[in-house]
A and B are shown apart, each in its own frame.
Chain A
Amino acid sequence: MSRTILLADDHRIVRQGLRAILKAEPGLRVVGEAANGLETLRLVEQLLPDVLVLDLMLPGLDGFKVIRQVTRRQPQTRIVVLSMHANEAYVQEAIQAGAYAYVLKESSADELVQAIRAVLAGNRFLSPPVSEQALKAYSERARSAPFDPYETLTAREREVLRLTVEGRTSPEIARQLFISRRTVESHRANMMRKLGLRNQKELISYAVRRDELFAQ
């Protein structure tokens, strides 16, 4: 019994090319074609294909959204993404959304067939130069660092921070730093915004936390 495939791409010539490649493959049968995101969703629900070969850049509903919807509503349908983007960000986004394979449009026909067979076997497939290692490296880089915005403050903002934590009022700080009160308030507002703080209480607890970090 052959496995069913739905093709989704907004270019008819691409769909025809894909259909031609897959026609020659034993055990695989193209059961439908969709030209946009919404049509893809409708046909997936109607045809319940084993594999969805999906172009990321679809009009109407973009490819990532289609992946999420299909993964949620029809998890048995495995998705093979066909994309012109070799960038790991796209690959990661697609895999995280629920795609099983990521094939570049510039890859050979063999790679697409390989990918379809891999997902049918329950495996992931990434077409070179995309690789699991590259993906892992990208995830590392994309992860938030434990990052202290204190370093980003200007010298003036640091002084205002220190004096504010010591309990000085704006007029007092203005006198001490020989600047106007308005300038002090502007520095203070900028400093608070940069540190992600909303009020005096948060400012004090931030300062305490920082002091503890320094002490260690």
Chain B
Amino acid sequence: MGQDQTGDRSASLRASTCLSAQVPPEVGRILETVRDVFIVLDADWRFVYLNGAAVKAARQPLEMLLGRSIWECFPALRGTEVEVRYRQAMAEQVPVHFEAPGVLTGRWYDISVYPATTGLTIYGRDITEGKQVEEALRASERLLRESDERHRLLAELSSDYSYTCQVDPDGTIRIESATAGFERVTGYSVAELEARGGWKTLVHPDDRDDSHREQRMRAGQRDMNEVRIITRQGDTRWIRFSTVPVADPEQGRVVRLLGAVQDITERKRAEIALRESEERFRNFMDNNPAVAFMRDPEGRYVYFNRTHQLLFQEPSASWLGKTICEVFPAQTAAELAAHDAEVLATGLVMRAEEKVPARDGLLRDWLAFKFPLQDAVGRRFLGGVAVDITDRKLAERALRESEERLQALSRRLLEVQEAERRSFARELHDEIGQALTGLSLVLKTSALAHGEDLSARLREAQALVKELMAKARDLSLRWRPTMLDDLGLLPALLWLIDRYTAQTSISVQFEHRGLEQRFRQQVETAAYRIVQEALTNVARHAGVATAALRVWLGTDVLCIQIEDQGAGFEVKLLHSSARSGGLSGMQERVHLLRGRLVLESAPGRGTRLTAQLPVQEAENGERHVTDHFAGR
């Protein structure tokens, strides 16, 4: 405001006074004291009267207002609903009623405007507080609405449907209502289901017996339960209930059940699938002939299959949580740890042969496949699968050795054959050839002789022939004693011993049992040659005057033992010693018959050689006895 309007002031004051004069003094006093606003305007919109409340609301002294136009005093009113309504009342000469906020106070007024030809009488009741309450009420309603909505949303999010059940005084439980999800999950509407016979008809027969649960709910306890239902479509679904009983204090019993239901079929299926998968994994692992295990980067066992357990662990001891250092000898653990570390470092699958002792402590060969593993939270593990290849390794080695032996044997066979032929040739030439030359000479001279001379020469020739026969027989026996074929092992051995003692002066104590029978030719020959070779070795190396020979029939085997108390030798050095030639010949003979050869010796403690030759020809290819060389 602040404009100079002193020109009109006296006139307005006058007018006000004039109006005041029109109002009875009692009424004027009342108007002054009420909290409502009371204003009178003349036809030119000039203030004629303002009561105290109005002056207070106007925030200007009365004398500044009286006689002046309302639009002039309060330009802020222009264009507002107040102006529209005032002008309407003035123009149409009808009372108007409306609510509006005060331009200066910000308070709300319930305004009634009464027109008259002389102007307007305005009555404004302060309704600010009512408005505030109303607003608060509205806000709270809004909040409530939002809260309900939120709850509904939450309920829908956390459950597939919710329901209420009525509990009859006799304990019967009937579904009262359910949210839309009910039909989605079960395939039935509540009414349809009740018509079919109620909720229980829906539950899977195996899960139907839950009377104790109902009992508890009727007693006022909350319940949570998982059951299978069979839907209208015939599917089996898993659902989970959360039920809250509601009691009626007046009746003193539970009258209603409120519940939320979640369809957990997918989760259940996943669980079952996981369980089945786990079970399958275990079955495959536990019934696998290979050992399987998992270790963490520190070498701690986190998993092993049953095969692993059976092969490595004592039945009572569990290795879970133990490190390889705790369960294996240091050297083994170091080897395993190095391989594990390499796999974890490179992230690559490793194929390695490892020597690891089994439960009995014996080192075995394993072919191991090791690979890195990672779990859901990123922890790293070492996985491994290993098979026992000890037998395969042994078989491979045996095969290799056998091949090598076979090669050495055939090489030696050729050498021996040549040597024998050389020896035969020399002996025939030296022994027989010389005697025949002598005989030829005698016969030549006897052709010229007569009488007594002739007789003498023929006698000489006959002596030479006799000598020749003896030599031929001797040679023949030396190469192969005929009695071995004609009469068997015992006569041949007796002849051999006689001859041996005669040549070497070593006496042989011969004990035998069960040799009255004949054995197959290979066995008799092998036995004879083994004794011959062993006795030759005694003569060459032992330095003794006596040797013992024992030949006897055991269980399906012919046993031969040659023992002396002589020099002996270090069995470990056998293969590099001069004896190995003769010995490997014996070994070959024994192996060919699938027998067993045992050599016991020690320096200064004599030598004992024992051979076992199976009497029957082995039916399968497996050798049931093996060689064994030992100190004594």
A and B together in one complex: yes
Q: Report A's interface with B, CB cutoff 8 A.
A: 56, 62, 64, 84-85, 87, 89-90, 93, 105-106, 138, 141-142, 144-145, 147, 149, 151-152, 154-156, 174, 180-181, 186, 189-190, 192-198
The one of A106, A144, A154 that contacts B514, using a Cβ cutoff of 8 Å: A144
B478 within 8 A of A: no
- Min C-beta distance of B361 to chain A, whole Å: 9
B360 within 8 A of A: yes
Report A-chain residues with C-beta under 8 Å of the C-beta of B71: none
- On whether the beta carbons of A141 and B494 are closer than 8 Å, the reply is yes
- On whether the beta carbons of B612 and A190 are closer than 8 Å, the reply is yes
Report B-chain residues with C-beta under 8 Å of the C-beta of A151: 550
User: Given A89-B495, A142-B494, A155-B632, A192 and B512 touching (CB < 8 A)?
Assistant: no
B557 within 8 A of A: yes
From B111-119, B229-237, B402-410, B483-491, the one touching the partner chain is B483-491
- Min C-beta distance of A61 to chain B, whole Å: 13
User: Given A142-B491, A144-B514, A106 and B612 touching (CB < 8 A)?
Assistant: no
User: Given A152-B559, A194-B554, A195-B554, A84 and B487 touching (CB < 8 A)?
Assistant: no
The one of B470, B473, B555, B596 that contacts A198, using a Cβ cutoff of 8 Å: B555
CA distance A207 to B473 in the complex (A): 48
CA distance A195 to B552 in the complex (A): 9
CA distance A147 to B630 in the complex (A): 25
CA distance A190 to B512 in the complex (A): 18
- On whether the beta carbons of B557 and A193 are closer than 8 Å, the reply is yes
CA distance A198 to B556 in the complex (A): 9
Closest 10 CB pairs of A and B: A89-B491, A193-B554, A147-B511, A193-B555, A196-B554, A145-B511, A144-B513, A147-B513, A193-B557, A194-B554
Report A-chain residues with C-beta under 8 Å of the C-beta of B556: 193
- On whether the beta carbons of B598 and A193 are closer than 8 Å, the reply is no
- Min C-beta distance of B273 to chain A, whole Å: 44
- Min C-beta distance of A96 to chain B, whole Å: 11
The one of B482, B516, B626 that contacts A144, using a Cβ cutoff of 8 Å: B516
B625 within 8 A of A: yes
Closest residue on chain A to residue B473 by CB atoms: A84
Report B-chain residues with C-beta under 8 Å of the C-beta of A186: 625-626
Report B-chain residues with C-beta under 8 Å of the C-beta of A195: 554-555
The one of A93, A193, A197 that contacts B487, using a Cβ cutoff of 8 Å: A93
- On whether the beta carbons of B554 and A180 are closer than 8 Å, the reply is no
The one of B360, B486, B512 that contacts A90, using a Cβ cutoff of 8 Å: B486
- Min C-beta distance of B565 to chain A, whole Å: 13
- On whether the beta carbons of A105 and B469 are closer than 8 Å, the reply is yes
Report B-chain residues with C-beta under 8 Å of the C-beta of A147: 511-513, 550, 552
Report A-chain residues with C-beta under 8 Å of the C-beta of B552: 147, 149, 152, 196
CA distance A155 to B624 in the complex (A): 21
B600 within 8 A of A: yes
Report A-chain residues with C-beta under 8 Å of the C-beta of B425: none
B345 within 8 A of A: no
Q: Report B's interface with A, CB cutoff 8 A.
A: 360, 362, 466, 469-470, 473, 482-483, 486-487, 490-491, 494-495, 510-516, 550, 552-557, 559, 561, 596, 598, 600, 610, 612, 624-626, 630, 632
Report A-chain residues with C-beta under 8 Å of the C-beta of B612: 190, 193-194
Closest residue on chain A to residue B610 by CB atoms: A152
- On whether the beta carbons of B483 and A87 are closer than 8 Å, the reply is yes
Q: A154-B632, A193-B556 are in contact. List 16 more A-B contacts (CB 8 A).
A: A84-B473, A87-B491, A89-B487, A89-B491, A90-B483, A138-B494, A144-B516, A147-B511, A147-B512, A147-B513, A152-B550, A154-B598, A186-B625, A189-B624, A193-B555, A194-B554
- Min C-beta distance of A147 to chain B, whole Å: 5
- Min C-beta distance of B386 to chain A, whole Å: 20
- On whether the beta carbons of A192 and B555 are closer than 8 Å, the reply is yes
Report A-chain residues with C-beta under 8 Å of the C-beta of B513: 144-145, 147, 149
Which residue among B486, B512, B513, B515 has the maximum number of chain A CB atoms within 10 Å of its CB? Answer: B486
Which residue among B515, B554, B610, B630 has the maximum number of chain A CB atoms within 10 Å of its CB? Answer: B554
The one of A84, A87, A149, A189 that contacts B559, using a Cβ cutoff of 8 Å: A149
- On whether the beta carbons of B362 and A180 are closer than 8 Å, the reply is yes
- Min C-beta distance of A103 to chain B, whole Å: 14
CA distance A107 to B457 in the complex (A): 19
CA distance A85 to B487 in the complex (A): 12
Report A-chain residues with C-beta under 8 Å of the C-beta of B598: 154, 190
The one of A62, A106, A144, A194 that contacts B469, using a Cβ cutoff of 8 Å: A106
Report B-chain residues with C-beta under 8 Å of the C-beta of A64: 486
Report A-chain residues with C-beta under 8 Å of the C-beta of B553: 196
The one of A152, A181, A192, A193 that contacts B561, using a Cβ cutoff of 8 Å: A152
Report A-chain residues with C-beta under 8 Å of the C-beta of B362: 180
Report A-chain residues with C-beta under 8 Å of the C-beta of B473: 84-85
Report B-chain residues with C-beta under 8 Å of the C-beta of A105: 469
CA distance A105 to B473 in the complex (A): 12
9 A-B Cβ contacts within 8 A? A87-B491, A90-B483, A106-B470, A144-B514, A145-B511, A180-B362, A193-B555, A194-B554, A196-B553
- Min C-beta distance of A57 to chain B, whole Å: 8
Which residue among B495, B511, B557, B626 has the maximum number of chain A CB atoms within 10 Å of its CB? Answer: B511
The one of A62, A89, A155 that contacts B483, using a Cβ cutoff of 8 Å: A89
- On whether the beta carbons of B515 and A62 are closer than 8 Å, the reply is no
Closest residue on chain A to residue B510 by CB atoms: A141
CA distance A157 to B55 in the complex (A): 134
Which residue among A56, A64, A155, A190 has the maximum number of chain B CB atoms within 10 Å of its CB? Answer: A190
CA distance A156 to B608 in the complex (A): 14
Closest residue on chain B to residue A195 by CB atoms: B554
Report B-chain residues with C-beta under 8 Å of the C-beta of A93: 486-487, 491
Report B-chain residues with C-beta under 8 Å of the C-beta of A89: 483, 487, 490-491, 494-495
Report B-chain residues with C-beta under 8 Å of the C-beta of A181: 360
- On whether the beta carbons of A190 and B596 are closer than 8 Å, the reply is yes
- Min C-beta distance of A67 to chain B, whole Å: 13
Report B-chain residues with C-beta under 8 Å of the C-beta of A90: 483, 486-487, 491
- On whether the beta carbons of A145 and B495 are closer than 8 Å, the reply is no
- Min C-beta distance of B492 to chain A, whole Å: 8
User: Given A154-B600, A155-B632, A194-B554, A180 and B360 touching (CB < 8 A)?
Assistant: yes
Closest residue on chain A to residue B600 by CB atoms: A154
The one of A62, A142, A174, A194 that contacts B490, using a Cβ cutoff of 8 Å: A142
Closest residue on chain A to residue B483 by CB atoms: A89
- Min C-beta distance of B628 to chain A, whole Å: 8
